[in-house]
Amino acid sequence: MKPKKYYPLLISTAIISTLITTISPNLDQNNLEVQAQTSNRQALTVRSDVQEANSETGVITARGNVYIDYPSRNIQATAAQAQFFSQERRLVLNGNVQVIQDGNSMRAETMTYLIDEGRFIATPQNQRQVESVYLIEENNL
């Protein structure tokens, strides 16, 4: 059985702006799903138990069984909660976070993605560690 792949989330202000305006009222309240598209029409899907978007603060929050899929970039992420701070261009994932891209993975209690810098900062629970797994290509000798 092939394991499911999860990829780190890369998100832009264009995606978030669209995300705020595309929340569908016809979704099952137990499995909320939001789809957003960038200016060149690439879909980003966020599924969670509850979602909130505050247009005044620019903060979007997804809570409970958060799953993020961005297939055009082969990106997936899971967490208990995700918050995007659009003014700071910062994404914070909390609670048993896993991100995977191209087979490389990272697990932590909290991960902050600094969008403009293109980097994650991962922190573990107390008395624990962050775990990363990287796939390294073998050269044929």
User: Which residue segment(s) compose the domain that 50 sits in?
Assistant: 13-133
Q: Is 57 helix (H, G, I), strand (E, B) or coil?
A: coil
Is residue 7 a part of any domain in this protein? no
- Domain assignment present for residue 1? The answer is no
State pLDDT tens for residues 10-30.
333 334 433 433 333 334 445
More reliable by pLDDT, 6 or 128: 128
Q: Identify whether 56 is part of a domain.
A: yes
List, in sequence order, the alpha helices (H) in 11-137: 13-21
Assigned domain for 75 exists: yes
Q: Is 74 helix (H, G, I), strand (E, B) or coil?
A: coil
Kindly state whether residue 48 falls inside one of the protein's structural domains.
yes
Domain count, the chain: 1
CATH code of the domain containing 94: 2.60.450.10
Q: What is the pLDDT of residue 43?
A: 66
Distance of alpha carbon 85 from alpha carbon 79, whole angstroms: 16
Tens of pLDDT, residue by residue over 67-117, are 987 676 677 899 999 998 889 978 899 999 999 878 889 999 999 877 777
Residue 11 is which amino acid? I
Cα separation, 93 vs 106, in Å, equals 12
Residue 138 lies in a domain: no
Position 32 scores a pLDDT of: 57
Whole-number CA gyration radius for the chain: 15
Residue 104 lies in a domain: yes
Q: How far apart are CA 108 and CA 20, in angstroms?
A: 27
Which letter, b or e, does each residue of 107-132 get, where b requires 16 or more Cβ atoms within 10 Å of its Cβ?
bbbbbbbebeeeebebeeeeeeebee
Residue 46 belongs to some domain of the structure = yes
Q: If pLDDT is split at 50, 70 and 90, which confidence band does 124 have? A: very high
